[in-house]
Amino acid sequence: MNKEIKLIDWGLIEYNQAWTQQESIFSETINRKVEGMDTENVLVFCEHPHVYTLGKSGDEHNMLLDYIQLQAKEAVFVKTNRGGDITYHGPGQVVGYPIFDLANFGLGLKQYINMIEQAIINALSFYNIFAQRMDGATGVWLDVGLPTCRKICAIGVRSSHYVTMHGFALNVNTDLNYFNYINPCGFIDKGVTSIEKELGHTVDMDELKALLRNAIERQFAG
């Protein structure tokens, strides 16, 4: 079983282009697996121009802007085939798309999501940000159980043949105003935050990506 993780950084890329490229790697991985060949585990990092994406189980009413208003915000709206509800992607956010063959790690989907969440929690601890999981909701949160509870990382995954795609979106130096135009992930009573907001200064994206990569590799090395 191949536990090595190959990193690809696409930089700033349109959401639909990244989705197409993900699907290509995803399909190739599944084809190799079905044919009994070795499979790679690919971790993609990227940023997207302003875009709102809705998961297959999501509610369009959580998108609070109409088409004209979206254009005014230089944003687009895309329905996707991942799990989860609505979320926002934009510049200053690290989006991670792990295209992993979970059989290489002996994992089920729930374990996999927990391990991605834990890797992000571990990376955030470098900045002395104490993050947690929240019962009944995927992603990574701060101040769980308090009125100040807020989300710093969204997660939405698709899998087939135990191969994953889509992934996580970690708010780093993100313009959080864009979250005002949706009910993030369907929640109307929870806030959204970023590393920049928590620290009071911008964060080096390359440093953060290196921390994330190391945290994910350590988590899945087991």
* CA-CA-CA-CA dihedral for 144, 94, 205, 163, to nearest 10: 110
Is residue 189 scored above 70 in pLDDT?
Answer: no
- Give the pLDDT confidence of 157-181 residue by residue, as tens digits: 999 999 999 999 999 999 999 998 8
The whole model's pTM is what? 0.93
At residue 211 the predicted structure's pLDDT band, cuts being 50, 70 and 90, is: very high
Is residue 186 scored above 70 in pLDDT?
Answer: no
Give me the CATH topology for the region 5-221: BirA Bifunctional Protein; domain 2 (3.30.930)
For the residues 15-44, what does the mean pLDDT come to?
Answer: 96
Structure tokens given for 124: 């955030």
Across all residues in the chain, what is the average pLDDT?
Answer: 92
What residue spans define the domains of the chain? 5-221
Q: Half-sphere exposure of 202 toward its Cβ, with a 13 Å CA cutoff?
A: 9
80 and 166 Cβ atoms separated by less than 8 Å: yes
Tokens 């698709």 locate to 158
Among the listed ranges 70-84, 114-128, 136-150, 174-188, which one has the minimum average pLDDT value? 174-188
> Could you tell me which of 94, 80, 97, 73 has the C-alpha nearest to residue 182?
73
Length of the chain (residues): 222
The residues near 119 (Cβ < 8 Å, ≥ 6 apart) are: 212, 215, 216, 218, 219, 220
Question: What is d(CA 209, CA 50) in angstroms, rounded to the nearest whole number?
Answer: 20
Question: What is d(CA 170, CA 46) in angstroms, rounded to the nearest whole number?
Answer: 11
The residues near 122 (Cβ < 8 Å, ≥ 6 apart) are: 215, 218, 219
- Which element (helix H / strand E) includes 217? helix 205-221
Instruction: List the end-to-end C-alpha distance of the chain, in Å, as a whole number.
Output: 12
Is 185 among the residues known to form the active site?
A: yes
